[in-house]
């Protein structure tokens, strides 16, 4: 059993990842917790890269963080049938944007 500080929730949410050195790219967040998020991408950013993550919706949620880990997972007996690569990002802060009201609580829901 994993020893984690916060509960993790499985999601499939499109995100934009913004960096000073590597530009902007779109990816998919596949799990999230109060402390961070796993972003599925074929080309993870270098460890230690500072990022802004935009979770798109009617009201865009923005979070700052840092790339803390890389993952290559195989979830089928034949790796060519099922792999997932990506990066773990630790949240530093949630950022206010034009459509996010100061002090608004953020709640993650699962179905």
Indicate whether 76 pLDDT > 70. Answer: no
pLDDT tens-digit profile of 11-69? 899 999 999 999 999 999 999 998 999 999 989 999 999 999 998 766 678 999 999 99
How many beta carbons lie within 10 A of that of residue 45, not counting itself? 20
Residue appearing with tokens 């020893």: 3
Give pTM, 2 decimals. 0.74
In CATH, the number for domain 9-95 is 2.40.10.220
Asked if residues 27 and 13 have their Cβ atoms less than 8 Å apart, the reply is: no
Asked if residues 63 and 13 have their Cβ atoms less than 8 Å apart, the reply is: no
pLDDT at 36: 94
pLDDT at 46: 96
Indicate whether 94 pLDDT > 70. Answer: yes
């Amino acid at each position: 059993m994993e020893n984690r500080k916060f509960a993790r929730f499985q999601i499939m949410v499109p995100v934009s990842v913004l960096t000073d050195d590597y530009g902007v790219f779109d990816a998919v967040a596949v799990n999230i917790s109060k402390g961070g998020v796993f972003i599925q991408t074929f080309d993870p950013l270098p460890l230690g890269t500072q990022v802004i993550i935009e979770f798109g919706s009617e009201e865009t949620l923005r979070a700052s963080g840092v790339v803390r880990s890389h993952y290559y997972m195989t979830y089928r007996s034949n790796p060519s049938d099922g792999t997932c690569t990506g990066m773990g990002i630790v949240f530093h802060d949630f950022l206010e944007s034009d459509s996010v009201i100061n002090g608004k609580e953020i709640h993650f829901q699962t179905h």
